[in-house]
Amino acid sequence: MNKFYVTTPIYYVNSYPHLGHVYTTIIADTVARYKRQRGHEVFFLTGTDEHGINIERAAEKAGLPVKQHVDRIVDSFKTAFEPFQFTNRHWVRTTDDYHKAGVRKLWQAAKANGFIYKGKYEGWYCGNCNEFYQEGEAVKGEGDVLLCPTHERPLDLLSEESYFFKLSAFQDKLIAHYEANPHFIRPETRRNEVLSFVRGGLNDLSVSRVSVKWGIPVPDDPEHTMYVWFDALSNYITAIGYGNEQFGGEAHFNKFWPADLQLVGKDILRFHTVYWPAFLMAAGLPLPKTVYSHGMWLSGGRKMSKTLGNVIDLEVLHKHFTPEVVRYFVLREMVFGQDGDFTYEALLDRVNADLASGLGNLAARTLTMIRNFCEGVIPSASEANAELTAQANEVREAVALAVVAFDREFDEYNFSRAIEAVSNARFRVDKFISDAKPWDLAKDPAKRAELELVLHTAAESLRHFAALLAPVLPNATQAIWQQLGESGQVNEVIPANLNWGGGAQHKIGDVQPIFPRLDKKKIMEEIKQEEAASQAARAQETKPEAPATATTETKPAEVAAAVNEPAPGVAYIGIEDFLKVELRVGEIKTAERVPKADKLLRFTIDLGEAEPRQILAGIAQYYEPEKLIGRKVIIVANLAPRKLRGFESQGMVLAASIGEEGRPILAGFLEDVPNGARLK
CB nearer ligand MSP, residue 24 or residue 238: 24
Angle at 49 between CA 197 and CA 473, to 5 degrees: 90
Size of the site for ligand MSP (CB under 6 A): 21
* SS3 track for 52-114: CHHHHHHHHHHCCCHHHHHHHHHHHHHHHHHHHCCCCCEEEECCCHHHHHHHHHHHHHHHHCC
- Give the one residue of 4, 5, 10, 350 binding ligand MSP; rule: CB under 6 A: 10
Measure CA 250 to chain center: 32
- Residue 640 amino acid letter: A
Catalytic entry in 105, 151, 177, 272 = 151
596 catalytically annotated? no
Minimum CB–partner distance for residue 332 and ligand MSP (Å)? 16
148 belongs to the catalytic site: yes
Question: Would you tell me how many other CB atoms lie within 10 Å of the CB of residue 672?
Answer: 13
The least distance separating ligand MSP from the CB of residue 471, rounded to whole angstroms, comes to: 20
Indicate which single residue of 212, 233, 355, 655 sits in contact with ligand MSP (rule: CB under 6 A): 233
Using the 8-state DSSP alphabet, how is residue 42 labeled? E
Inter-CA distances, 328 with 277, 527, 631, Å: 33, 20, 19
Only one of the segments 16-24, 215-223, 463-471, 544-552 lies at the binding site for ligand MSP (rule: CB under 6 A); that segment is: 16-24
Q: Give the footprint of ligand MSP on residues 235-254 (CB under 6 A).
A: 235
Q: Which of 28, 291, 296, 591 binds ligand MSP (CB under 6 A)?
A: 296
| Active-site annotation holder among 51, 100, 148, 224 | 148
Of the two residues 94 and 457, which places its CB atom closer to ligand MSP in the complex?
Answer: 94
Work out whether 323 is an interface residue with ligand MSP (CB under 6 A): no
Distance CA 673, CA 668 (A): 10
Examine residue 152 and tell whether it contacts ligand MSP (CB under 6 A): no
Q: Tell whether residue 231 is a contact of ligand MSP (CB under 6 A).
A: no
Which whole-number Å values give the CA distances from 440 to 18, 428, 552, in the listed order?
50, 20, 55
**C-alpha closest to that of 125 among 159, 94, 162, 163:** 159
Q: How far is the CB of 277 from ligand MSP (least distance, A)?
A: 13
By CB under 6 A, name the one of 4, 5, 16, 23 that touches ligand MSP. 23
- 374 tagged catalytic: no
Residue 5 interacting with ligand MSP (CB under 6 A)? no
Q: Which stretch binds ligand MSP (CB under 6 A): 20-28, 100-108, 252-260, 542-550?
A: 20-28
Active site residue 320: no
Closer CB to ligand MSP, 267 or 412, in the complex = 267
Q: Which of 29, 49, 430, 545 binds ligand MSP (CB under 6 A)?
A: 49
Nearer to ligand MSP, 304 or 403 (CB): 304
Residue 83: how many other CB atoms lie within 10 Å: 15
Which of these, 538, 557, 558, lies nearest to 549 by C-alpha position? 538
CA distance readout (Å), 234 to 48, 104, 210, 526: 12, 10, 20, 43
The answer to whether 303 contacts ligand MSP (rule: CB under 6 A) is: yes
585 binds ligand MSP (CB under 6 A): no
Catalytic site residue from 129, 177, 272, 464? 129
**Residue from the set 28, 59, 198, 232 that interacts with ligand MSP by CB under 6 A:** 232
Catalytic residue status for 289: no
Terminal C-alpha separation, the chain: 56
Indicate the residue among 303 and 613 with the shorter CB distance to ligand MSP. 303
Angle between helical axes of 188-199 and 171-180 (0-180°, round to 10): 160
Instruction: Pick the closer one to ligand MSP by CB: 306 or 396.
Output: 306
**Helix and strand tally (H, E) in the chain?**
24, 28
Q: Select which of 272, 306, 447, 456 is catalytic.
A: 306
Name which of 241 and 295 has its Cβ closer to ligand MSP: 295
Whether 627 sits among the annotated catalytic residues: the reply is no
Rule CB under 6 A: say whether 125 interacts with ligand MSP: no
Catalytic annotation on 306?
yes
Torsion 606-609-611-615 (CA) sign:
negative
Residues from 358 through 377 that contact ligand MSP (CB under 6 A) = none
φ, ψ for residue 194, nearest 5 deg: -70, -40
CA separation for the pair 467, 481 (Å, rounded): 8
Stretches 17-25, 152-160, 558-566, 619-627: which one binds ligand MSP (CB under 6 A)?
Answer: 17-25
**Given the DSSP bridges, would you call strands 652-653 and 678-679 parallel, antiparallel or unpaired?**
unpaired
177 is a catalytic site residue:
no
The verdict on 268 binding ligand MSP (CB under 6 A) reads yes
Residues sharing a CB contact under 8 Å with residue 171, sequence separation 6 or more, in sequence order: 198, 199, 201, 202
Our CB check for ligand MSP shows the closer of 237 and 467 to be: 237
Decide if residue 115 touches ligand MSP (CB under 6 A): no
- Look up residue 289 and give its amino acid: K
Does 265 sit near ligand MSP (CB under 6 A)?
Answer: yes
265 vs 485 by CB, closer to ligand MSP: 265
Under rule CB under 6 A, residue 186 binds ligand MSP: no
Shortest Å, Cβ 95 to ligand MSP: 13
Minimum CB–partner distance for residue 264 and ligand MSP (Å): 5
Segment holding 265, helix H or strand E = strand 261-265
Scanning 10-18, 61-69, 192-200, 390-398 for contacts with ligand MSP by CB under 6 A, the matching segment is: 10-18
> 446 near 477, Cβ under 8 Å?
no
Residue 20 within binding range of ligand MSP, rule CB under 6 A: yes
Separation between Cα atoms, residue 286 and residue 176, nearest integer Å:
14
Q: Note whether 291 and 236 are within 8 A (CB).
A: no
The gap from C-alpha 53 to its chain's centroid, in whole angstroms, comes to 29
Site of interaction with ligand MSP (CB under 6 A): 9-12, 20-21, 23-24, 49, 232-233, 235, 264-265, 267-268, 296-297, 303-305
The residues annotated with a catalytic role in the active site are: 18, 21, 126, 129, 148, 151, 303, 306
